[in-house]
Amino acid sequence: MHLPALSLLLIGLLFPAAALAETRADTLDSERQAELKTLLYQDCGSCHGMTLRGGLGPALPRDRMEAFSPEALTYIIQHGIPGSAMPGWKTLLSDAEARWIADHLRTDNSLETLQQD
């Protein structure tokens, strides 16, 4: 198994969901949500592709993101993935902001799936 994939699997399996139980992504105002959406498609998009279809980093379609718990995605956003180019964003994003991005990727992501044409 590829090291970043193994890291993702371990994070998803071992990360205690209770650690982020207090995270409230729904408390962010609409202006901050718009800023986070811009951050997602521009900053994250610099590696994952501006439309999240992949680039240096993997594509982030909704069907793939739904496989991860919101807590696991929040943890990955905050701490990055060891052994990969994925940095942690904890110094720039609060837990609630990282959770909003995780929730957006899982439920409101316009890239539903990567279909083969």
What are 45-71's pLDDT values in tens digits?
899 998 889 999 999 998 999 999 999
Model pTM score: 0.75
Cα–Cα distance between 109 and 63 in angstroms, integer? 9
The percent of residues in the chain predicted with pLDDT above 70, rounded, is 74
Listed as ranges, residues in the chain with pLDDT below 50 are: 16-22, 116-117
Instruction: Give the whole-angstrom CA distance, residue 34 versus residue 70.
Output: 19
State in Å, rounded, how far the first CA of the chain is from the last one: 28
**Whole-angstrom distance, CA of residue 69 vs CA of residue 64:** 11
CATH of domain 37-117: 1.10.760.10
Task: For the chain, give every domain's residue range.
Answer: 37-117
Q: Are 19 and 79 in contact (CB under 8 A)?
A: no
